[in-house]
Chains A and B, each alone.
Chain A
Amino acid sequence: MAVLESDICIIGGGISAAMLAQKLLELRPSASINVVEAGRRLFDLEHRMRYRRRSLIYGENAWPGDFIEDQKAAGVISRTMAVGGSALHWGGTCNRFSEEDLRLKSKYGLYVDWPIEWKELEHFYCEAERRLGVSGEPSPLPEDWRSEPYPMSAMVLTHNLIELKKWGEKTGIPFWSTPQAKNTRPYDGRAQCIRCNTCAICPTGARYSPDFTYKQLLTHKNVQLYDRTLVRQLVLDRNKTRVAVARAVHRDRPEETIEFRAPLFVVAAGYTWSSHLLLLSRNTDFPNGLANRSGLVGRYMCGHAFTTAQIELDAKIYPGMNETHALISRQFFRCKPGDPYIRHDLRIWESAAGREPRLRNKDGEILLGDDLLGDWRKRSQRGAARVRGYYDVHPDRDSALTLDESTRNKWGDPLPKIEHKLDAATLSRQAGTRQHFHDLFERLAKNDNGKVLNISEGNYLDHPAGGCRMGNDPTASVCDSFGRTHDHENLFVVGSPTLPNAGCTNGTLTFVALTLRSAEKIAAEVRKA
């Protein structure tokens, strides 16, 4: 059995772990940090143009080897398990939540408040934007105040988005460039974006991914990365509530147990595997899993719902100019107390809906060559927009990640199963929410001879989070606002699992901001230890 000791042991190797390790190294340069990740490291920027090409032509996975075959789960999970996590192939969208997301109970009488002040979180949003390298333009709404400018100027709006902005704003709703972790100039040793239109696999490194941070971290002798190493259980000190050991196995040496020992442990394994590890770590004193005296580990799994419309309009749109960039409006982030509760973002992308080449015309006749091209051109005279709103929904206590005893990995550990469930108040609002979006899409379509082609409702909760929600009350939460678990003084959880609710826009920037705040508390604990 191998025993590996450090001052801090971080379990998980995604974006939160990367940001945490980076900041801890700055705050406590003499502290040793072990990062343990079940997946492999993919430090292969030089191959990404080839991966991109094969993804485009063949539909192959642009991140080969980014998953573990038998480490799967049921429900809305990402299969990606690799150093960098899901943020290897994220779109780079870096929206902030709003103060309302943190004050649902006190403003609206709904769900819960967060145990953190907006003004404090805003400070860490700025830091997250600096570290990730976010390009953006400030919101014109005064409620969206910022204490610092974006690190980089916004991504240029393509001709398509300029046209769609003019169209969208005829409703009186302001739209602007969506902030993204994409370089509009060389930044932090990475290149400027060259508009490859495939941000899920950025071949140049212009879109931030955590592998760059890990490569920098590993130049420091105090940071060690143990990849392909699956932590199966956290073990407590005898007769104490302190975590003593993270017991792991290397995927290539399954017969050998590895013990990671440290005064401080941080679980940074995302919304699926963080709760899963805590539940797997059950023992006689904690029969329901570690950090779970409240019974809330794996509960209140959250995400936001979404509705999408395809709208055609009189505008010259050239599909493919930059399909991964969008317009955003935060006009609907706020809701007056007393009004029907609905909060959402609003996004507009260029679209080719209804303008794809087709084999058969509307009469079912087969088209070849010039006939097919002619049919395609005829249908492409007008432009199209994809309009989406991510809207705020709140989880029920039974929105849960549980251990599925019927499905196990090769080591015999039960795998997770996620079943999202909305709370009663959210369900009671569904009809009104649906009508709101229909009215909004029709309002947009009134301009430029628009026509709503179709409306679809998402059948899952996007940008999932939760499972170890933060709070001040140990009976109603798993950890405090810094991620320190209520039950174990030396065990923290950071990033997406700690969110009580998932807001109404992409969550990654919030995961990182909260993690950076936790890092200061954890650094202070290192000093004490």
Chain B
Amino acid sequence: MFLRARAPGEIFSAGELAALEGLALIVLPSSLGSGGSKNVADEFSMYVRDYRAGADTEHGYGVTRVAPKPQSPARRYAEQLRALPSPLTPAGVQQALAQAGVKELPRLPDGKNVIVDLMTFYFRSGEANDLCYRAAIERNKCRGLAGSDHPPAALQEPF
């Protein structure tokens, strides 16, 4: 995504990070492979590390008060990662989500549930959009105008 070149911070303990990586293997597409899933988990860790509580959010017409970003989700995520069942299975993840009452993927991670936020972080990304369409749309990149009148190039398999 945007954070790939940077190292993970100290947001999560080794155990929590391992749980996050295990979770990524279950909730992300298998075509990413274990390496790709680990990359997403690392990027998610960096997302949490670089989160800025209190930053102003977008504001449009009719917004009376500009809302600040809420507190960092790091502590809640860590607690939820430690509470994941072991061994972690797809059924266990589904049960955890059902118990949490999560209905849908938010537009952006909202800090409530680490499972759904990891899924949102990936599935709302330009990379996931490309994977869905099997094409290099590169929605969030600055790509130039040339060639945009043609369909985007097909992704190389496997996808």
Interface of chain B, main secondary structure: loop
A59 and B57 contacting across the interface, CB-CB below 8 Å: yes
Q: Is B84 an interface residue (CB 8 A)?
A: no
CB distance from A351 to the nearest CB of B (A): 13
Partner of B66, one of A67, A357, A377: A67
A319 and B139 contacting across the interface, CB-CB below 8 Å: yes
CB distance from A276 to the nearest CB of B (A): 16
Interface of chain A, main secondary structure: loop
Which residues of B have CB within 8 Å of A194?
142-145
Which residues of A have CB within 8 Å of B144?
194-195
From 45 to 89 in chain B, residues with beta carbon under 8 angstroms from any chain A beta carbon are 47, 51-52, 55-66, 69
CB distance from B62 to the nearest CB of A (A): 5
From 162 to 218 in chain A, residues with beta carbon under 8 angstroms from any chain B beta carbon are 162, 184, 192-198, 203-204
Q: Is A340 an interface residue (CB 8 A)?
A: no
| A-contact bits for B101-143, CB 8 A (1 contact / 0 none) | 0111101100000001001000110101101110101111111
CB distance from A123 to the nearest CB of B (A): 31
Category for how many chain B residues contact A: 35 or more
Which residues of A have CB within 8 Å of B27?
368-369, 372
A198 to B58 alpha-carbon distance, docked (Å)? 13
B29 and A58 contacting across the interface, CB-CB below 8 Å: no
A319 and B129 contacting across the interface, CB-CB below 8 Å: yes
B132 and A359 contacting across the interface, CB-CB below 8 Å: no
Q: Is A43 an interface residue (CB 8 A)?
A: no
Nearest CB in chain A to that of B107: its residue: A59
Q: Is B152 an interface residue (CB 8 A)?
A: yes
Partner of B97, one of A316, A322, A366: A366
Which residues of B have CB within 8 Å of A462?
61
A158 and B90 contacting across the interface, CB-CB below 8 Å: no
A196 to B145 alpha-carbon distance, docked (Å)? 10
A357 and B59 contacting across the interface, CB-CB below 8 Å: no
A469 to B137 alpha-carbon distance, docked (Å)? 46
Which residues of B have CB within 8 Å of A356?
105
Q: Is A360 an interface residue (CB 8 A)?
A: yes
B148 and A158 contacting across the interface, CB-CB below 8 Å: yes
CB distance from B115 to the nearest CB of A (A): 9
A320 and B139 contacting across the interface, CB-CB below 8 Å: yes
Q: Is A53 an interface residue (CB 8 A)?
A: yes
Q: Is A79 an interface residue (CB 8 A)?
A: yes
B143 and A372 contacting across the interface, CB-CB below 8 Å: no
A337 to B57 alpha-carbon distance, docked (Å)? 47
A75 to B63 alpha-carbon distance, docked (Å)? 8
A57 to B44 alpha-carbon distance, docked (Å)? 11
Q: Is B93 an interface residue (CB 8 A)?
A: yes
Which residues of A have CB within 8 Å of B143?
194-196
> How many chain-A residues does the 8 Å CB contact rule pick out?
62
CB distance from B15 to the nearest CB of A (A): 22
Partner of A357, one of B123, B140, B150: B123
A494 to B108 alpha-carbon distance, docked (Å)? 40
Q: Is A62 an interface residue (CB 8 A)?
A: yes
Which residues of A have CB within 8 Å of B35?
none
Nearest CB in chain B to that of A162: its residue: B149
Q: Is B94 an interface residue (CB 8 A)?
A: yes
| Contact A369/B30 with A58-B55, A159-B149 known, Cβ cut-off 8 Å | yes
Nearest CB in chain A to that of B135: its residue: A318
Which residues of A have CB within 8 Å of B140?
56, 197-198, 320
Nearest CB in chain B to that of A55: its residue: B58
Partner of B61, one of A60, A77, A203, A370: A77
| Contact A57/B47 with A79-B59, A195-B145, A360-B103 known, Cβ cut-off 8 Å | yes
> Which A residues are closer than 8 A to B by beta carbons?
53-62, 64, 67, 69, 72-80, 155-159, 162, 184, 192-198, 203-204, 316, 318-323, 356-360, 366, 368-370, 372-373, 376-377, 380, 460, 462, 464
Given contacts A78-B61, A195-B143, A368-B93, 11 further A-B contacts (CB under 8 A): A54-B55, A57-B108, A61-B58, A198-B140, A318-B133, A318-B151, A357-B124, A359-B104, A369-B26, A373-B29, A380-B133
> Which B residues are closer than 8 A to A by beta carbons?
1-2, 26-31, 47, 51-52, 55-66, 69, 90, 93-94, 97-98, 102-105, 107-108, 116, 119, 123-124, 126, 128-129, 131-133, 135, 137-145, 148-152
20 contacting pairs across A/B (C-beta < 8 A): A57-B108, A58-B52, A61-B57, A64-B55, A67-B59, A73-B64, A75-B62, A79-B63, A80-B59, A156-B145, A193-B145, A195-B144, A318-B137, A321-B152, A356-B105, A359-B104, A369-B90, A376-B132, A380-B133, A460-B62
